[in-house]
Protein backbone atom coordinates (compact mmCIF):
# COMPACT_ATOMS: atom_id res chain seq x y z
CA UNK A 1 0.00 0.00 0.00
CA UNK A 2 1.35 3.43 -0.88
CA UNK A 3 2.38 5.63 2.05
CA UNK A 4 -0.34 8.27 1.54
CA UNK A 5 -3.05 5.63 1.09
CA UNK A 6 -1.96 3.89 4.28
CA UNK A 7 -1.97 7.18 6.20
CA UNK A 8 -5.48 8.01 4.96
CA UNK A 9 -6.69 4.52 5.81
CA UNK A 10 -5.34 4.80 9.36
CA UNK A 11 -6.85 8.26 9.81
CA UNK A 12 -10.24 7.01 8.64
CA UNK A 13 -10.07 4.19 11.20
CA UNK A 14 -9.15 6.59 14.01
CA UNK A 15 -12.00 8.87 12.97
CA UNK A 16 -14.44 5.97 12.90
CA UNK A 17 -13.44 4.79 16.37
CA UNK A 18 -12.99 8.26 17.88
CA UNK A 19 -9.76 7.29 19.62
CA UNK A 20 -7.48 4.30 19.18
CA UNK A 21 -4.52 2.70 20.93
CA UNK A 22 -1.54 1.22 19.11
CA UNK A 23 -3.03 -2.25 19.69
CA UNK A 24 -6.37 -1.25 18.20
CA UNK A 25 -4.66 0.05 15.05
CA UNK A 26 -2.40 -3.01 14.85
CA UNK A 27 -5.44 -5.27 14.85
CA UNK A 28 -7.44 -3.16 12.40
CA UNK A 29 -4.61 -2.78 9.89
CA UNK A 30 -2.47 -5.87 10.43
CA UNK A 31 0.61 -3.83 11.33
CA UNK A 32 2.45 -6.97 12.46
CA UNK A 33 4.98 -6.42 15.26
CA UNK A 34 4.87 -3.68 17.87
CA UNK A 35 8.08 -2.24 16.42
CA UNK A 36 6.66 -2.11 12.91
CA UNK A 37 3.43 -0.56 14.20
CA UNK A 38 5.30 2.30 15.87
CA UNK A 39 7.32 2.88 12.67
CA UNK A 40 4.11 3.14 10.62
CA UNK A 41 2.23 5.23 13.19
CA UNK A 42 5.07 7.71 13.50
CA UNK A 43 3.98 8.96 10.05
CA UNK A 44 0.68 10.08 11.60
CA UNK A 45 2.28 12.64 13.90
CA UNK A 46 1.31 15.72 11.89
CA UNK A 47 -2.30 14.50 11.56
CA UNK A 48 -2.99 13.35 15.11
CA UNK A 49 -2.89 14.33 18.73
CA UNK A 50 -1.81 11.79 21.32
CA UNK A 51 -2.49 11.21 24.99
CA UNK A 52 -1.97 8.36 27.44
CA UNK A 53 -4.17 6.17 29.60
CA UNK A 54 -2.60 3.54 31.87
CA UNK A 55 0.68 4.02 29.94
CA UNK A 56 -1.00 3.25 26.64
CA UNK A 57 -0.51 5.72 23.81
CA UNK A 58 -3.79 6.89 22.31
CA UNK A 59 -4.31 8.61 18.96
CA UNK A 60 -7.08 10.98 17.89
CA UNK A 61 -7.31 13.32 14.92
CA UNK A 62 -6.16 16.92 15.03
CA UNK A 63 -7.50 19.63 12.72
CA UNK A 64 -5.11 18.71 9.90
CA UNK A 65 -6.05 15.04 10.19
CA UNK A 66 -9.76 15.83 10.04
CA UNK A 67 -9.23 18.05 7.01
CA UNK A 68 -7.15 15.33 5.34
CA UNK A 69 -10.09 12.90 5.27
CA UNK A 70 -12.96 15.41 5.26
CA UNK A 71 -14.19 14.69 8.78
CA UNK A 72 -16.09 17.16 10.96
CA UNK A 73 -15.99 14.96 14.05
CA UNK A 74 -13.89 16.69 16.72
CA UNK A 75 -12.92 14.62 19.75
CA UNK A 76 -12.64 15.98 23.28
CA UNK A 77 -9.95 13.85 24.92
CA UNK A 78 -11.47 14.50 28.35
CA UNK A 79 -14.85 13.09 27.34
CA UNK A 80 -15.01 9.53 28.66
CA UNK A 81 -11.87 8.22 26.97
CA UNK A 82 -12.14 4.87 28.76
CA UNK A 83 -15.62 4.33 27.33
CA UNK A 84 -14.39 4.83 23.76
CA UNK A 85 -11.48 2.44 24.24
CA UNK A 86 -13.76 -0.24 25.72
CA UNK A 87 -16.02 0.19 22.70
CA UNK A 88 -13.02 -0.38 20.43
CA UNK A 89 -12.24 -3.62 22.30
CA UNK A 90 -15.80 -4.76 21.63
CA UNK A 91 -15.53 -3.75 17.95
CA UNK A 92 -12.49 -6.00 17.55
CA UNK A 93 -14.07 -8.85 19.56
CA UNK A 94 -17.07 -8.72 17.21
CA UNK A 95 -14.69 -9.12 14.26
CA UNK A 96 -14.83 -5.51 13.05
CA UNK A 97 -18.41 -5.22 11.68
CA UNK A 98 -18.41 -3.46 8.30
CA UNK A 99 -21.52 -1.40 9.12
CA UNK A 100 -20.30 -0.34 12.60
CA UNK A 101 -21.59 3.07 13.71
CA UNK A 102 -20.99 4.69 17.08
CA UNK A 103 -23.37 6.77 19.20
CA UNK A 104 -26.33 5.90 17.00
CA UNK A 105 -29.47 7.85 17.89
CA UNK A 106 -32.62 5.73 17.70
CA UNK A 107 -36.01 7.43 17.57
CA UNK A 108 -39.36 5.75 18.04
CA UNK A 109 -42.94 6.46 18.98
CA UNK A 110 -44.49 5.11 22.15
CA UNK A 111 -48.23 4.96 22.66
CA UNK A 112 -49.22 7.61 25.18
CA UNK A 113 -51.23 6.92 28.32
CA UNK A 114 -53.43 9.90 27.44
CA UNK A 115 -57.08 8.94 27.23
CA UNK A 116 -58.98 9.18 23.95
CA UNK A 117 -61.26 11.79 25.55
CA UNK A 118 -58.27 14.03 26.31
CA UNK A 119 -57.12 13.65 22.71
CA UNK A 120 -60.51 14.72 21.39
CA UNK A 121 -60.93 17.64 23.79
CA UNK A 122 -57.36 18.95 23.85
CA UNK A 123 -56.21 17.87 20.40
CA UNK A 124 -53.32 15.90 21.87
CA UNK A 125 -51.16 13.46 19.93
CA UNK A 126 -51.67 9.83 20.97
CA UNK A 127 -47.98 9.06 20.55
CA UNK A 128 -44.89 10.09 22.47
CA UNK A 129 -41.56 10.37 20.65
CA UNK A 130 -38.62 8.82 22.50
CA UNK A 131 -34.90 8.55 21.83
CA UNK A 132 -32.16 6.11 22.76
CA UNK A 133 -28.49 6.65 22.00
CA UNK A 134 -26.90 3.27 21.34
CA UNK A 135 -23.18 3.15 22.05
CA UNK A 136 -22.79 1.31 18.75
CA UNK A 137 -24.88 -0.28 16.03
CA UNK A 138 -24.29 -2.73 13.19
CA UNK A 139 -26.07 -5.17 10.91
CA UNK A 140 -24.95 -8.69 10.03
CA UNK A 141 -26.58 -11.70 8.38
CA UNK A 142 -30.04 -10.15 8.42
CA UNK A 143 -29.90 -9.11 12.08
CA UNK A 144 -29.62 -5.64 13.63
CA UNK A 145 -27.38 -5.36 16.67
CA UNK A 146 -27.43 -2.59 19.26
CA UNK A 147 -24.36 -2.45 21.51
CA UNK A 148 -24.18 -1.06 25.03
CA UNK A 149 -20.83 -0.38 26.72
CA UNK A 150 -21.43 -0.34 30.47
CA UNK A 151 -18.78 1.68 32.26
CA UNK A 152 -19.73 4.54 34.59
CA UNK A 153 -23.52 4.72 34.27
CA UNK A 154 -25.53 3.86 37.38
CA UNK A 155 -27.63 0.71 37.30
CA UNK A 156 -30.73 2.87 37.77
CA UNK A 157 -29.92 4.70 34.53
CA UNK A 158 -29.04 1.40 32.86
CA UNK A 159 -32.44 0.02 33.86
CA UNK A 160 -34.24 2.98 32.29
CA UNK A 161 -32.31 2.43 29.08
CA UNK A 162 -33.14 -1.28 29.03
CA UNK A 163 -36.86 -0.46 29.42
CA UNK A 164 -36.59 1.93 26.46
CA UNK A 165 -34.88 -0.76 24.42
CA UNK A 166 -37.68 -3.19 25.23
CA UNK A 167 -40.20 -0.73 23.77
CA UNK A 168 -38.03 0.10 20.78
CA UNK A 169 -37.27 -3.55 19.90
CA UNK A 170 -40.72 -4.99 20.67
CA UNK A 171 -41.88 -5.38 17.07
CA UNK A 172 -38.52 -6.14 15.44
CA UNK A 173 -37.68 -9.84 15.35
CA UNK A 174 -34.27 -9.13 13.84
CA UNK A 175 -33.11 -6.83 16.66
CA UNK A 176 -30.54 -8.02 19.18
CA UNK A 177 -29.04 -6.19 22.18
CA UNK A 178 -25.41 -6.86 23.11
CA UNK A 179 -24.29 -5.58 26.51
CA UNK A 180 -20.74 -5.53 27.85
CA UNK A 181 -19.92 -4.85 31.49
CA UNK A 182 -17.21 -5.12 34.16
CA UNK A 183 -18.56 -7.23 37.01
CA UNK A 184 -20.39 -10.51 37.43
CA UNK A 185 -23.03 -8.85 39.62
CA UNK A 186 -23.83 -6.31 36.89
CA UNK A 187 -23.89 -9.07 34.29
CA UNK A 188 -26.46 -11.01 36.33
CA UNK A 189 -28.70 -7.93 36.61
CA UNK A 190 -28.51 -7.24 32.88
CA UNK A 191 -29.30 -10.88 32.10
CA UNK A 192 -32.31 -10.76 34.44
CA UNK A 193 -33.59 -7.60 32.71
CA UNK A 194 -33.17 -9.17 29.27
CA UNK A 195 -35.45 -12.00 30.39
CA UNK A 196 -37.92 -9.78 32.27
CA UNK A 197 -38.41 -7.40 29.33
CA UNK A 198 -38.26 -10.15 26.68
CA UNK A 199 -35.29 -8.67 24.87
CA UNK A 200 -33.27 -10.93 22.58
CA UNK A 201 -29.60 -10.52 23.29
CA UNK A 202 -26.81 -11.30 25.71
CA UNK A 203 -24.43 -9.75 28.23
CA UNK A 204 -20.71 -10.45 28.46
CA UNK A 205 -17.90 -9.35 30.72
CA UNK A 206 -14.99 -7.41 29.23
CA UNK A 207 -12.74 -10.13 30.64
CA UNK A 208 -14.57 -12.65 28.43
CA UNK A 209 -13.63 -10.83 25.23
CA UNK A 210 -10.00 -9.99 25.99
CA UNK A 211 -7.81 -10.81 23.01
pTM: 0.86
For the residues 93-111, what does the mean pLDDT come to? 90
DSSP 188-200: HHHHHHHHHTT--
pLDDT (tens digit per residue) in 116-125:
333 334 444 5
pLDDT (tens digit per residue) in 21-47:
999 999 999 888 888 888 999 999 999
Q: What percent of the chain has pLDDT over 90?
A: 74
pLDDT (tens digit per residue) in 170-201:
989 999 999 999 999 999 999 999 999 999 99
Q: What's the helix, strand, coil split of the chain in %, to 5?
A: 45, 25, 25
CB 182 within 8 A of CB 153: no
Reduced to 3 states, what is the DSSP secondary structure of residue 9?
A: helix
Per-residue confidence band for 127, with pLDDT thresholds at 50, 70 and 90: low
For the residues 76-99, what does the mean pLDDT come to? 93
Q: How far apart are alpha carbons 46 and 61 in whole angstroms?
A: 9
Amino acid sequence: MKSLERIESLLITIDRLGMATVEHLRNCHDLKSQRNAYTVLKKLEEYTNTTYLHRKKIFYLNKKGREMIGSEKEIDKNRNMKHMLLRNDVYLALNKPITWEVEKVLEFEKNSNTSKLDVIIKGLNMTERKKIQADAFFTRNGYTYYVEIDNLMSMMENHKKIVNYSEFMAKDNTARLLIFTHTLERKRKFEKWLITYKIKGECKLYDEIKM
